[in-house]
Every structure is written in C-alpha cells, then in structure tokens.
Structure 1
Amino acid sequence: MDVSTQRRIAAAVLDCGIDRVWVDPENLEKVKMAITKDDIRLLINDGIIVKKQEKGISSARKKEVQEQKRKGKRKGPGSRRGAKGARTPKKEKWMNTIRPLRTLLKELRENEKIERSSYRKLYRMAKGGAFRSRNHMKLYMKEHGILAE
C-alpha cells in the first residue's frame, strides 16, 4: 500500500528525511486515511509513525589505528608527511638536548663534582653542540679527567 505522501508529510512534521520515517506495517490502513498534518501528528503520538534514529559513524576503526600508533606501528617513512624538521621542529629537538645537559652541569657544580672553570668550559661546549646527550657529556668528562668521583 502506498503511503509515500503520508511519509513525506511525516518527514516535514518530524523534521527529518523521508527515509528516516518508519510506518508500522500493521496499521497501514490508518496511515492511508491520514491526509492532514494533524492526522499525522496523532499517528506520531500513537507510535504508528516513528522517527528512526540517525546512523552514526563508528569510531572503532579510529580507536584501532590509535592503539597501533601508540605501539609504534604505522609510523614508517611511507606514512610521514612533511620534513623531519616539521614533525619535530629543530628548536624543540635542541631544547630536548640542551636542557638535560645544563641541568646535569648545574647539579655537578652544586655538588662540587666539577670546578667552576670546568663548568664554564663544558657549558660553552654544550651550547656549541659538542654533546649529543648526558651520557656523551659524562663520557667526555671521564676521558678528560674533569669529573671528580
């Protein structure tokens, strides 16, 4: 039985698309008799015409990808967009290198493991980019007998 007109009116009343209007197949005769918006509203109140729920977008795939990325997957050269300096800016990389070095130097100076003159020299070297990491700096100090154990 054709109730396309009623579905169109119901869609206007329910403020949704025609495809989201569900008509109870048991009561098609009642629906067929409804010709005004008021008739349709009564059928909606009776539950004969119902507005279907909107279809959502599942986030399951997104969560799966995030989980894999957390494990370090999907980060190979084929997935990278942008230059090396864009993914982690040069300044940020520098800050991540220099801050631990300067912290280490301050600790060593405060604990009197190194002299002030050595501190100055190492500080300037660190600023010049002579050390890759804390371990690299410690190795240099041991090799040159700067670090007093």
Structure 2
Amino acid sequence: MVSQAKKLISRALGEASSRIKVSPEAADRLAEVATRSDARSLLKEGVVTVEPKRGNSRGRWRLLHEKKRNGRRRGQGKRRGPKSARMNERRQWINRVRNMRRFLNYLKHKGTIDSKTWRRLYLMVKGGYFESLSSLRAYMIQNHIIEGGR
C-alpha cells in the first residue's frame, strides 16, 4: 500500500516517486491518501518530503580542463588531425611574416641596414622567400648584410 500511495503522491506533486520520502512514524497515514489535496496536505505537515534533484558532478571535467589550460596533455599521443587543424595555416603565415617585418624594422631603425636593403628584404619576405626568421637571418649573414652571432 505504501508504494501505491507514494505513486499517487508523486503524481500529485509532479515529482519522481524515487525522490518522495515518507517518515517511518507516519507510514500508517499514507493509507488515507486518496486525492491530490491529501498529498499536498501531507507535504505541508512534513510527513512527506521531496529530496532535491541530483545533477552530474563537474569535478572530473573541471580537473581535466584545468590541466589542459595549464598546457598539460598536449603531447603527440593526444593530437588528432593535421597540424593545420590545431593552428590555421593562414594565421601561422601572418605570425611568421609579422615577426620577420618586426625584425627588419628593428634593424632599419637601429641603423644596421639602409632603406634600400630594407625594401629589398621586405619584398622578399612578402613574396615568401624565407621560411622563418632564422632563415632570414641566415640569408643576411651569408650575404654579409649583418654580422653572424647573436
């Protein structure tokens, strides 16, 4: 009879029957429940209580993403897809070119290279002649535009 009453109460309150808890002292009063208003009155009296809803814990998710934020779990084994999927190729190109242009501007303002040499190298950078800043430096050292070393 208790389970039948619990079902009736759960329907009346619009809650799951597994969350309806009945105090053991008042178990005999459940037989009296016939209507929804009876169920609500038992809830008001405190004979019947409704447990709060339980959600899924975010703890594990939070820990994983905190580690990822701090640069962990980024090794070869975790990488999926091509390199371009992790960093856009166009964005890589933009970063590379900006870096080389910054270097050329630095050398020009420092007085290491004249504006004619700067223009020639600037256009070579724009044309994709150099793979990276290090290849630009190597070219400049090889052609005696700047001295070797740091």
2:89 maps to which residue? 90
TM-score (normalizing by structure 2): 0.80
Distance 1:47 1:129, change over 3 A: farther
Say if 2:12 and 2:36, in contact at 8 Å, map to a contact too. yes
1:132 maps to which residue? 132
1:130 partner amino acid? F
1:102 CA drift (Å): 1.5
1:18 CA drift (Å): 1.4
CA distance in 1, matches of 2:109, 2:13: 74
1:69 maps to which residue? 68
Q: Deviations over 1:71-123 (max 9, x none)?
A: 43322333222222112121111112111222232333344432111112221
Say if 2:100 and 2:132, in contact at 8 Å, map to a contact too. no
Determine whether 1:45 maps to 2:44: yes
TM-score (normalizing by structure 1): 0.81
1:9-28, aligned counterparts within 5 Å?
9-28=8-27
Say if 2:19 and 2:51, in contact at 8 Å, map to a contact too. yes
1:113 maps to which residue? 112
Residue 56 of structure 1 aligns to a residue whose secondary structure is coil
Runs of at least 5 residues in structure 2 that lack an aligned partner in the other structure: none
Distance 1:14 1:57, change over 3 A: same
Backbone CA RMSD of aligned residues = 2.3
Say if 2:104 and 2:122, in contact at 8 Å, map to a contact too. yes
1:35 partner amino acid? A
Residue 21 of structure 2 aligns to a residue whose secondary structure is strand
Distance 1:138 1:8, change over 3 A: same
